[in-house]
Structure 1
Amino acid sequence: MPMDAAGRAACLSQFFLSSWRCYPKLTLTRYALCSKSKAYGENLSTRIDSILDSWLQVAVKPGIEELTLFLYEDEEYIFPISLLSLGVRSSIRSLELRSCVFRPTPELGPLRGLTRLALRDVRITGLKLECLLFNSLALELLDLIHCHRIIFLKIPSVLLQLSCVKVRGCSYLRAVENKAPNLSSFTLYGQVSKLSLGATLPMMKVFVMRCDKVIRYARANLPPIMPNLKTLELGSTFEVNTPMLPSKFLNLKHLIIQVNGETLSPSYDYFSLISFLDASPSLETWWLDVRHFFEGSSHLRQLPECHHDRLKSFEVIGFSSAKGLVELTCCIVKRGNNSDCQDAMCRAIRTAELEEASRAVVAIRRYIEDKVPSTAKLTLVEPCPCRRCRSTHMDDE
């Protein structure tokens, strides 16, 4: 090579080296990879996958601690298991994949240092995931989002360090079986026919679940297997009345319940939620979201007094004039130390919502206000008087 050509090549190499250091993101577009004549006649995804494989082989080396691969609308790309060589498996701490195919095998070997595994829109079966989990003994966090190939999620007992599991939007998931003994936080968005979190979870502190009839399910099934549960968050679109049961949440301090009132049966009795108060002698805060609209309250039932001295805050979002909700609030404010009943904050609302909010204020004034003892504080957020809410509310269709 002539001397001047060699000099130019050396300068160019240094320039590219500097560019890679300053611009670590790789953008592969049809314009960059294909000429106009071939742009629509060539398999672009095959070319991109080939380039991506080559780039990953260069980038993923022993000693790497964090690997995050986000693809968009490309669930056909097969993540190369060969990347997880012995040196990589020994060093990697966090693995996060999005929109690809992931097929770990028993021959993969242990990922001794992996503490965080996050998969989103990843095509992986329950068996393949179980295989990976058995090889990840240091795992602390498992986060699965929209992994639709998983039907049965099995979490093995060898995961002694696993403390947090999040499963959201896995639409074909039907069963969850956990045997990890130290799980302390579990989140499930979806409907499953079988949920087994272990005979006893002494460390469980946070449980979040959203699906139909989850409120009744939680009251009936969780106290025996979660004796040390501290925070419980439930969300339901279809619900049935909660029964009074002898089992207790002895250590529950924070309760969050969200109900989609628009899908509830008109016969649903909000007062049945008193079962949670009866079962939770240590409860300090209760946040209740019941954004629904009813006709005005009728005569209230004569209810037994509810003894609960530790409750410091009871907050209702979307308070309405529903009889059961008024009765529930009356029962709580008589004994609570600090109760907050709040309506929705400033926003554009429909005429029907505005009318119901006004009825809710009347119900509070008539049935609740005079029952608040001197040791409790009632905060009522009335319908917003601002011009934006009053003038821009939407008429019902």
Structure 2
Amino acid sequence: MGLQRLMWMQHHRRHHQIQPHVPTVEIWAHIHSLLSLRDAARAACVSHLFQRSWKCHPDLTFSKETIFDENLYRKNKTSDKTTSDLVRIIYRILKNHSGNGVKALRLEIDDVANISACYLNDWLHLAVKPGIEELALLLHDDLDYNFPCSILLNGIANTIRDLRLSSCVFRPMAGFSCLRSLTSLELSEVYITGDELGCLLSCSLALEELVLTYCKEIACLKIPCALQRLSQLVVTNCENLEVIKSKAPNLTVFEYTGGVVEVSIGDAVLDIMISASGWNVVHYARAKLPQMVPNLETLDMTSSLATDIPFLPGKFLHLKHLCIFFMVSAGAFCPDYDYFSLVSFLDACPSLETLMLSVTQQSVEHDSVLGDSSHLRQMPGHCHGSIKDVKIIGFCSAKSMVELTVHILENAVSLERLTLDTVCYDLRCSDGASGCSVGNMNMIMEARKALVVVRSYILEKVPSTVELNVVEPCSQCHAVEN
């Protein structure tokens, strides 16, 4: 029995010494699949194992940067020869590829005007096979290319989870129902109508994220309630858009950049970012959003327009983070605007923990508190019990801004930190710019006045429990002025 046990152990040991060779092949193939396209091709030239693996490489990313040597690409970025070489290399790779195992195809073409549409069609038909999960066709400045929807029919694209298209025409037809696994859809500068997009969305029941950028044919965006998994909607600069209506029951993040639109997004939204042009978005948010999105937790707004905020009955009972960015591209922010009216917004947010107010302008036309001998306005009886962190960027000597700051110090009983930044982000030369331009000198002088205001009106109001951070102009600004 002892001899039999010894013989069995030796046989077992020999067996395990031989077996690892099979999984080792699989391990090396897996490692090869993780390499970039260029590195995987190089490895295939020196190894039979990698050569076999190369024919099934799962990640095909084609662009000048990924195919060509970096120095050569920079030198010949706009060369016609570089474009013809790109076409030849992509064709050779795709024709040598088995067509099996492709998980991701990314085609990024800069000078698409020099590449025939038939090339793009051939490449897509060669690479888009059953099992593909990610498809990105990123063209630049050519909106005449018609994306061939036929490659997504007959069940070929049932496994696509991520679809990104840019600068092309995309016309999903009626009955289009093949993207059942799609979780992320991103369209940038794509010609597609609202009805065509609706047709696509109606069958994409697994969709979780929808991003639309510069899609100017869409006038009405309607999202059906069937999209139970949709959690994020991003709409940016779709210039003819008039209406956004979402019935997706679990949409939690909504981001919008553009002009005035009619919005209806459901009551499950927790985070909203709106950057609006020609739209008094701060006033709109205060008046409309408490009823529309009662569970809102984060609100981020950017606007160049503003009017005083009245006290209204609706409240943001769950809002914890509020960011308000006032930006003007030239000149000064409206001198009639009363920053002190933002107390109305604070009063509507009993759970608010962080507040950021940022004002970007090239000059200040508000009345300065330094030239006004009257007393600062007060608003007694308003206790902001949850605010812990307040940051004001572009803090200036405007009397109404000083009144707002003093009000917060006197009524935010939980306040832990107050940051007053006297220079807005885009004027700070220590952040990477070569130096403050002459046109910004008036704001540097205003920052100096703001420092005087802090010493004269703010310091004495700061409780011992509050950390005050005052950000001054950088040393390069001082050097320029001197």
Q: Which amino acid aligns with 2:468?
A: L
Cα deviation for residue 16 of structure 1 reads 12
Deviations 1:352-394, CA, capped at 9 Å, x for gaps: 111111111112222222112222222111233x2x2223369
**1:61 & 1:368 partners in 2: Cα distance?**
66
- One-letter identity of the residue aligned with 1:106: A
Alignment match, 2:211: 143
Q: What secondary structure, in the 3-state scheme, does the structure 2 residue paired with 1:52 have? A: helix
Describe the superposition over 1:313-343 as per-residue Cα deviations: whole angstroms up to 9, x where unpaired: 1101110111111111110012331222222
Q: Which has the higher helix share?
A: 2
Per-residue deviation, 1:20? 10
Per-residue deviation at 1:24?
4.9
1:218 alignment partner AA: A
Amino acid at match of 1:217: Y
Unaligned runs of 5+ in 2: 1-44, 65-77, 86-111, 430-434
Corresponding residue number in structure 2 for 1:342: 421
The AA in structure 1 aligned to 2:222 is: K
Q: Could you say which residue in structure 2 is the equivalent of 1:206?
A: 271
Q: Which residue of 1 aligns with 2:297?
A: 230
Q: For residue 54 of structure 1, give the secondary structure of its aligned residue in structure 2.
A: helix
Cα RMSD between the aligned structures? 2.6
Bigger RCO (CA 8 Å, 6+ sep): 1
1:383 aligns with 473
Letter in 2 for 1:312: K
Asked if the contact 2:354–2:388 (Cα under 8 Å) also holds between the matched residues in 1, the reply is yes
Answering whether residue 442 of structure 2 is matched by residue 352 of structure 1, we say yes
For residue 287 of structure 1, the aligned residue among 356, 362, 375 is 356
Please state if 1:65 is matched with 2:133: yes
Report the counterpart of residue 93 of structure 1 in structure 2: 161
1:296 and 1:359 in contact (8 A); partners too: no
Superposed displacement of residue 228, structure 1: 1.1
1:87 counterpart SS class: coil
Q: 1:240 to 1:121 in 2, by over 3 A?
A: same
Structure 2 contact 175–199 (Cα < 8 Å) conserved: no
| Percent of aligned positions that are identical | 40
Q: Any idea what the Cα deviations from partners look like across 1:186-233, whole Å, max 9, x if unmatched?
A: 0000112311223xx1x3211011112000000000011211111000
Alpha-carbon distance in 2 for matches of 1:62, 1:192: 42
Long gaps (5+) in structure 1? 1-10, 35-43
Structure 1 stretches (4+) deviating beyond 4 angstroms?
14-24, 26-30, 44-47
Number of aligned positions between the proteins: 368
Cα distance between partner residues in 1 of 2:128 and 2:239: 32
**Structure 2 Cα separation of the partners of residues 162 and 309 of structure 1:** 35
Q: What is the letter of the counterpart of residue 326 of structure 2?
A: V
d(CA) in 1 for partners of 2:294 and 2:189?
Answer: 34
Q: 1:63 to 1:19 in 2, by over 3 A?
A: closer
**271, 284, 296: which is aligned to 2:368?**
296
Cα contact 1:169–1:190 (8 A) shared by 2: yes
Query: In structure 2, how many angstroms separate the alpha carbons of the residues matched to 1:20 and 1:100?
Result: 29
Deviations 1:94-145 (A, max 9, x none): 1000111000112221421101000011111111111111111111000011
The amino acid of 1:189's aligned partner reads T
Preserved contact between residue 61 and residue 87 of structure 1 (Cα < 8 Å): no
Counterpart secondary structure, 1:91: coil
Match of 2:62 in 1: 25
Name the TM-score, length of structure 1 as normaliser. Answer: 0.86
Query: In the alignment, residue 303 of structure 1 is paired with which amino acid?
Result: Q
